[in-house]
Chain A
Amino acid sequence: MTLLYFATLLSLVAAGYYFGRSRAAAVSQAALHSRPAYHGAFVAIAVLLPMLAVFAVGVPLAQRLAEAQAVNAFDPALAGDELRRGAVLRDIVAVAAGRFSGEPSAALQRAAETYRSLRSWSDALLIAGGLAFGLLAIAFGLRSLSARFRARNHVERFVTVVLFACASVAVLTTVGIVFSVLFETLRFFERVSPVEFLFGLHWSPQTAIRADQAGSSGAFGIIPLVAGTLLITTIAILVAGPIGLFSAIYLAEYASPRFRAIVKPILEILAGIPTVVLGFFAALTLAPWIRDSGGLLGLNVASESALAAGIVMGMMIIPFISSLSDDVINAVPQSLRDGSYAMGATRSETVKKVILPAAFAGIVSAFMLAISRAVGETMIVVMAAGLAANLTFNPLEAVTTFTVQIKTILVGDQEFDSAKTLAAFALGFVLFFFTLTLNVIALQIVKRYREQYD
């Protein structure tokens, strides 16, 4: 049915375009306000919109009607009982579709019959209605065409509206997500005070199911998570910052164009490695190696350590820094390099004193992007740094982060209004707030130091 409807729609749209276009093409071109293709597009849109509207209104309407009638045929008394009504409805639909396992009762079969016939009626009606609307629209569209008709303006307005709608979807989705997280967070704060949440030093979200259960105090202080996140992110940036920036400088200023053409894509592949694979590497190769070498030095290293996770995460974000920094360094005009060399500056002086300052804003945004990625990364930390919410800045101990805790809380079956589950939303909100702040700061820096090259 859906398929048939859209086939009709497409053919009518095509027909509308064709007729509109040939009508306009037949007129003397000089007198025409808009080119024929616009006339065609105008008629096509005139068909498209009403037919989409018929479908969007008609289908749910028909569905509701058929369901109501079918349930009524089964047992009129069901109307008030949402739960049973739903169950019966599922059965009716299953029988109607021939997917019912077992032998349906007579009443059920009657209801299914009602449902089926209503559906086929409404389908036929819908297609007929769509066809009628479409044909009417073609007639209407063709009638409004004339040499002076401003088809182009109408079509462009339509395009603008479509573009606006797409932009709105992105914005509204963001707003929607923020608000839903915000509301759940507020619900969480009804149970746990914000002060305890923000400044508490213990994180152990297991709430007691039985009163006498041990070790389930249900502490919701996020400081250990903040510390863990900061620790791992700092290690990652310490690894990726110098490596990424220096390789960008090498690629942009020192390497031969051929070398650069080969190496840059290879570096970028690093960004494409699934983080699970990196996590593997961190947990199975790097973490044991760190533990063993730590052991040799007489250090006490946990088998899951912030160091292993941080280093591997650093490797993950190297390409963000190197590739973006390479781009901004390349965007520094050659004339500045020439000016510096002509003053007798060496290459490294030129890089240090002219190129890096000129590219500063871009490099900062590369770092910010990399930090956002690191803060949001989950998989590597789960696999390499563990789940223990230790409040420590010792990189050799196991720590945990925001994202890991959100994941841990929400994996598995959950009651949806326990403090534990709601805590995930509160964590998400704090994380969101954190990255937002980071972005705002980055934007400010970029605005302040941006160099306009003319």
Chain B
Amino acid sequence: MMNTMVHVEVPAADRGPAADRAIKVVARGVNVHYGEKHALHDVDLDIPERAVTALIGPSGCGKSTFLRCLNRMNDTIPVARVTGRIEIDGHDIHDPELDVVQLRARVGMVFQKPNPFPKSVYENVAYGPRIHGLARTKGELDEIVVSSLRRAGLYEEVKDRLADSGTGLSGGQQQRLCIARAIAVSPEVILMDEPCSALDPIATAKIEELMDELRENFTIIIVTHSMQQAARVSQRTAFFHLGSLVEEGPTETIFTTPKDRRTLDYITGRFG
């Protein structure tokens, strides 16, 4: 068991309370039931704009469940029932006026296992822009695809095989392809559910670097099991336990002086 605190380096520019940054996502009294199972209890959380927020906590505590609330992916699970209020830029995402298609264009998602479509690299990235009609001409589409691949740090590696199948890339490349696919529709928020858990350390480092760049333009929420990763990439951290949000705050604070005993136990590896 590791008993020392995780060593954290937070760039000086990122220190300071959340109040410094505009709030992008607001969750109030969010509850999720899967049939009889009460998976998420009364979660209240503010997520700042243009920053990385990490969700940590032991397995089964509801991190993915909370993440899926934010782009209403729980709608695709028949037994799931979500209550409470979630706002993005002050607008309720459960508003019946709002089309879930529009919501998901604004809130992109990257999954734990890379899941490129069995199509070419190009078609994978072009998928979202085509669906949402973001490009009027082939030239515009080409431009979106290339710039998305560039921002995902993948372009140099795949520029000669845009026509090859996306499933033929390496795991790390596939995951960056999925990130490119997500940013191709210019979302405002990107949700990432353990995006590096299937990757080796080098691919992981690349993705972490990428997140650091992406947060200049996007609001990023990442679920991770790696304390080090949360410390490296995030500015704010929220700790979940048994379906409740226990504590949240600047990453530095959570990792150095947590208020709750359970948070301390978790980050020092005493359970989880």
Contacts and interface: CB of A to CB of B under 8 A. Distances in A.
Interface stretch (A152-160, A345-353, A375-383): A345-353
The residue among A337, A339, A344 with the most chain B CB atoms within 10 A of its own CB is A344
Interface residues of A, number: 23
Interface in B54-107: 71, 73, 76, 78, 100-105
A122 interface: no
Interface string A334-359: 01111111111110010001100110
B115 A343 contact: no
A341 B104 contact: yes
B269 interface: no
A335 B167 CA distance: 13
A82 to B, nearest CB: 67
Interface string A198-226: 00000000000000000000000000000
Given A344-B104, A345-B131, A357 B118 contact: yes
A341 B131 CA distance: 11
B127 A338 contact: no
Contacts of B76: 337-338, 341
B84 to A, nearest CB: 21
B115 A344 contact: no
Nearest to A346: B101
Contacts of B119: 357
Contact of B113 (A335, A349, A452): A335
A338 B118 contact: no
Contact of B111 (A338, A344, A349, A358): A338
A417 interface: no
B167 A451 contact: yes
B185 interface: yes
Contacts of B117: 336, 339-340, 353-354, 357-358
B178 A339 contact: yes
A376 to B, nearest CB: 33
B118 A358 contact: yes
Interface in B142-198: 167, 178, 181-182, 185
Interface residues of A: mostly helix, strand, loop or mixed?
helix
B109 interface: yes
B128 A344 contact: yes
B147 to A, nearest CB: 17
Given A338-B115, A451-B167, A343 B73 contact: no
A342 B128 CA distance: 10
Contact of A342 (B102, B108, B113, B118): B108
A274 interface: no
A341 B167 CA distance: 19
Contacts of A345: 101, 127, 131
A339 B104 CA distance: 11
B73 A344 contact: no
Contacts of A349: 131
B132 interface: yes
A338 B102 contact: no
With a 10 A CB-CB cut-off, give which of B101, B105, B178, B181 has the most chain A CB atoms. Answer: B101
A409 B178 CA distance: 62
A278 B30 CA distance: 57
B227 to A, nearest CB: 26
A294 interface: no
Given A338-B111, A451-B118, 15 more contacts: A333-B115, A335-B113, A336-B117, A336-B118, A339-B116, A340-B127, A341-B104, A342-B73, A342-B108, A343-B105, A344-B132, A345-B127, A346-B101, A353-B127, A358-B117
Interface of B: 71, 73, 76, 78, 100-105, 108-109, 111, 113, 115-119, 127-128, 131-132, 167, 178, 181-182, 185
28 contacts: A333-B115, A335-B113, A336-B115, A336-B118, A337-B76, A338-B115, A339-B116, A339-B117, A341-B104, A342-B71, A342-B104, A342-B108, A342-B109, A342-B182, A343-B105, A343-B181, A344-B102, A344-B104, A344-B105, A344-B128, A344-B131, A345-B131, A346-B101, A357-B118, A357-B119, A358-B118, A451-B167, A453-B118
